[in-house]
């Protein structure tokens, strides 16, 4: 039994390591992981013959990622052993005394708050940032220098007096407020929420595009260094202050054990007021020469330990699940709770994120649940106490809960493919008014001057516009006096901006091409590239609404689904006998013939992958809905023309001047970092009669690839698509 348990713990901890380090998607808390690891350590000590040579007890962290270049640390980056009680801290202190041959004597230590972040090593050479890497396996880590450069508190250059060469060690983390805002935006986008700030931080640092990392609210604290000449940790912290490097605010030099235990208790009372999440305190030997004397095990230093505070969890009753409609139409379930005091505040509501999360935890109305603050700020349901579940409860079904209608407008809701959230699809939904107006006026849509977030929020809050088309009805004099500030501190939009809005709206009414109007309507799954392709296939907006081309695309998808279901080779639904098998084969062949016929009729249009069955179904559903019909009627009343400026559905003549161009009729995909914006290259391709798609397929003719091309380059190579760098692209044009 002990051998089985040891094997189980080894495999389970390896799985959790992969989830934590490689995928940034932990399933259990740090404390639960630490307890499993401790049990494995004890079993391996008792039964060493059964221990795995590659046991998690011998590894520092996860293997480095394949997506980043691997670099070696100047000195090994170790993780820390853990203590869960004050008696275990006392045992650690006794080991320090014994290791230094000073039994019974005071050994100065330092105590600091332990930030729950991602370990990082940053090399500065001659005062300049040279490289940043994750801990990885302790000896090698992922080179994430470009991502770390996006963190504002990481200086590119150290002030005078910095060491000639130093490898700083620290934790990159996400502030609680930033984490809350990030999860809110992910909920609004219908994306899975991050479990905690550490999980969100790890995911941010693993972005292959540093521009995406720059959007995340990351920060850093330095707590150690390789090659530092500071004699003590206290002196090192003073040096950090002199170099203007961020350090822990809760830091205590402690001459005695009693001082250290008092500091651990004090940090526990103060840490809830910090702007970031902490999960413990770190106790280190102050004397750095003595640290080297004690050395390390294969996994952790002997001169430091982490004390883990138990997370505060409180039980309470979930009496109702309510549904909020976000600014992008996402329906977010919220737990309505009996008030309970957790981590310093009274909690009566907690986000449940989405229906998938509710199903995973099996949360039901009437349940008793454990509540914890994720990131010490966001109340979250940790798990259900099923032993207290009342009789008669049923699994939660969001669609049935809202009777298939948006709680804000009674409009239809749908669950989009590839997303976890339900969304209201009504163009006129008041809960979405601000985001709809912002997209409508954005540069890639109708490019309406002077309408940004503040103006959009103001016209909605003052009941001047419930939909983007209401902007056409707001008089100039009303816009002129529009107060963008508060009643106490008014700030008018002004005559100049009011006339800009009116002039650009009038221009959009008659001059903006079809693809901009399609994108401006904010229809789900219709991005800039798909809007351009739809505009190529149709003369005007009213033709799009009745499109036979789009109907055929959706018809093919429906028939293919039916074909898969009735296939005689369907293992999940095999035919009952030979007679049924024969009948299904006939139906299968008939469907195959019908699909081939439709595809033949579509072939002449050379449709790019940007307009697939999901996009086609989405735009048809929109125009068939009551809100879509009202939108078309309103557009006619406003005199909106929305004519295609690229109508060429079946190989019509290319744009003037592009007749002899080798680009004409060719489909391009653009990826990576180029010398100029993607829009620059896109405009040139379109002007030469080519097409630009957002995704790679067998129909793609060329991939224009800059630096850091990523997965699109890999897919293009696997499909045999011609890959062009910029010189090759220019040569093609020449």
Q: Is 88 helix (H, G, I), strand (E, B) or coil?
A: helix
φ/ψ (deg, to 5) at 220? -145, 150
**How far is the C-alpha of 505 from the C-alpha of 445, rounded, in Å?**
12
> 45-64 b/e with 16+ CB inside 10 Å = b?
eeeeeebbeebbbebbbbeb
**Residue 183: its H or E element:** helix 176-189
Each as own residue / partner, the long-range contacts of residues 235-238 (CB below 8 Å, 24 or more positions apart, any chain) are 236/288, 237/110
Over the range 623-642, which residues count as b (16 or more CB within 10 Å of their CB) and which as e? bebebbeebeebbeeeebeb
Q: Let me know: does 266 contact 254? Beta carbons within 8 Å.
A: no
Q: Which two tokens stand for residue 498?
A: 């009011």
Is 386 considered catalytic here? no
Using CA atoms, how far residue 263 sits from 95, 312, 442, 665, 706, in Å, is 20, 20, 53, 71, 53
Q: What is d(CA 382, CA 161) in angstroms, rounded to the nearest whole number? A: 48
What span, in angstroms and rounded, lies between the C-alpha atoms of 421 and 416?
A: 7
Closest CA to 151 of 245, 236, 71: 245
| Residue 523: closest CA among 323, 327, 328, 325 | 328
DSSP state of 19: I
The Cβ of residue 235 has, within 10 Å, a number of other Cβ atoms equal to 14
Name the active-site residue from 98, 114, 386, 551: 114
- 575-592 burial code (b ≥16 CB/10 A, e <16): beeeeeeeebeeebeebe
- Count of other CB atoms within 10 angstroms of residue 68: 20
Contacts of 446 (CB under 8 A, 6+ apart): 440, 504, 505, 508, 512, 516, 517, 520
Instruction: Give the other-Cβ count within 10 Å of 128's Cβ.
Output: 12
Q: By C-alpha distance, which of 345, 515, 529, 331 is closest to 423?
A: 331
**Which runs of E-coded beta strand occur in 606-731?**
667-671, 691-693, 702-705, 722-724
The phi, psi pair for 92, rounded to 5°, reads -60, -45
Beta bridge partners of 120: 134, 170
Strands, DSSP E only, in 78-177?
82-83, 109-115, 118-125, 128-134, 140-142, 165-174
CB 173 within 8 A of CB 198: yes
CA distance 344 to 731: 66
Contact 367, 318 (CB under 8 A): yes
Give every CB contact of residue 161 below 8 A, 6+ residues apart in sequence: 242, 243
Closest C-alpha among 247, 155, 216, 307 to residue 24: 216
- Rounded CA-CA distance 506/446 in Å is 11
- The answer for residues whose C-beta is within 8 angstroms of residue 112's C-beta and 6 or more apart is 223, 248, 250, 251, 252, 267, 281, 282, 284
- Would you name the residues annotated as active-site residues? 114
């Amino acid at each position: 039994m002990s051998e089985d348990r040891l094997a189980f713990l080894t495999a389970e901890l390896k799985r959790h390591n992969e989830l934590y380090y490689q995928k940034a998607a932990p399933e259990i808390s740090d404390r639960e992981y630490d307890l499993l690891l401790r049990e494995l350590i004890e079993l391996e000590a008792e039964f060493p013959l059964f221990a795995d040579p590659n046991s998690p007890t011998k590894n520092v962290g996860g293997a480095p990622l394949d997506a980043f270049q691997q670099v070696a640390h100047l000195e090994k980056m170790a993780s820390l052993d853990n203590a869960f009680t004050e008696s275990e801290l006392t045992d650690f202190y006794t080991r320090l005394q014994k290791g230094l041959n000073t039994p019974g004597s005071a050994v100065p230590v330092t105590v600091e708050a332990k930030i729950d972040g991602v370990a990082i090593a940053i090399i500065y050479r001659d005062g300049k940032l040279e490289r940043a890497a994750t801990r990885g396996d302790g000896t090698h880590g992922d080179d994430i220098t470009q991502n770390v450069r996006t963190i504002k508190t990481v200086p590119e250059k150290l002030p005078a007096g910095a060491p000639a060469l130093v490898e700083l060690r620290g934790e990159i983390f996400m502030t609680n407020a930033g984490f809350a805002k990030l999860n809110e935006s992910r909920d609004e986008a219908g994306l899975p929420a991050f479990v905690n700030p550490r999980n969100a931080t790890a995911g941010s640092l693993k972005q292959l595009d540093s521009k995406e990392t720059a959007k995340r609210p990351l920060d850093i604290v330095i707590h150690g260094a390789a090659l530092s000449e500071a004699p003590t940790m206290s002196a090192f912290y003073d040096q950090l202050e002199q170099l203007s490097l961020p350090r822990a605010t809760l830091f205590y030099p402690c001459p005695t054990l009693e001082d250290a235990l008092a500091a651990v208790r004090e940090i526990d009372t103060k840490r809830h007021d910090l702007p970031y999440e902490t999960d413990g305190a770190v106790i280190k030997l102050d004397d750095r020469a003595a640290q080297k004397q004690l050395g390390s095990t294969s996994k952790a230093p002997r001169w430091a330990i982490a004390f883990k505070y138990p997370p505060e969890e409180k039980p309470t009753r979930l009496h109702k699940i309510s549904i909020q409609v976000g600014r992008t139409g996402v329906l977010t379930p919220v737990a309505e709770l009996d008030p309970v005091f957790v981590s310093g505040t009274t909690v009566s509501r907690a986000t449940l994120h989405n229906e998938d999360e509710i199903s995973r935890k099996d949360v039901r109305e009437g349940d008793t649940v454990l509540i914890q603050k994720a990131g010490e700020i966001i109340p979250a349901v940790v798990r259900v106490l099923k032993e207290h579940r009342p009789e008669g409860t049923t699994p939660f079904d969001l669609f049935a809960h809202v009777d298939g209608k948006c709680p804000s407008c009674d409009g239809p809701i749908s669950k989009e493919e590839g997303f976890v959230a339900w969304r209201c699809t009504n163009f006129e939904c008041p809960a979405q008014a601000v985001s709809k107006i912002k997209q409508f006026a954005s540069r890639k849509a109708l490019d309406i001057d002077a309408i940004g977030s503040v103006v959009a929020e103001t016209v909605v809050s003052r009941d001047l516009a419930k939909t983007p088309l209401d902007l056409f009805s707001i008089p100039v004099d009303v816009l002129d006096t529009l107060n963008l500030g508060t009643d106490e501190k008014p700030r008018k939009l002004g005559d100049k901006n009011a006339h800009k809005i009116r002039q650009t709206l009038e221009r959009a009414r008659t001059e903006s091409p079809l693809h901009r109007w399609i994108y401006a309507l904010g229809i789900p799954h219709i991005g800039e590239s798909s809007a351009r392709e739809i505009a190529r296939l149709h003369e005007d907006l009213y033709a799009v609404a009745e499109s036979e081309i789009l109907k055929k695309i959706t018809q093919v998808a429906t028939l293919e689904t039916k074909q898969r279901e009735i296939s005689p080779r369907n293992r999940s639904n095999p035919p009952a006998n030979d007679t049924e098998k024969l009948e299904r084969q006939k139906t299968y062949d008939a469907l195959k013939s019908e699909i081939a016929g439709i595809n033949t009729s579509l072939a002449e249009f050379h449709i790019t992958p940007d307009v697939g069955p999901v996009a086609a179904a989405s735009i048809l559903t929109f125009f068939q809905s009551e809100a879509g019909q009202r939108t078309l009627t309103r557009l006619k009343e406003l005199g909106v023309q929305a004519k295609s400026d690229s109508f060429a559905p079946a190989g019509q003549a290319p744009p003037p001047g592009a007749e002899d161009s080798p680009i004409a009729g060719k489909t391009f995909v653009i990826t990576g970092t180029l010398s100029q914006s993607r829009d620059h290259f896109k405009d040139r391709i379109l002007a030469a009669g080519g097409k630009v798609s957002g995704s790679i397929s067998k129909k793609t003719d060329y991939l224009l690839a800059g630096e850091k091309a990523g997965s699109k380059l890999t897919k293009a190579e696997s499909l045999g698509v011609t890959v062009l760098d910029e010189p090759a692209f220019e040569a093609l044009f020449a």
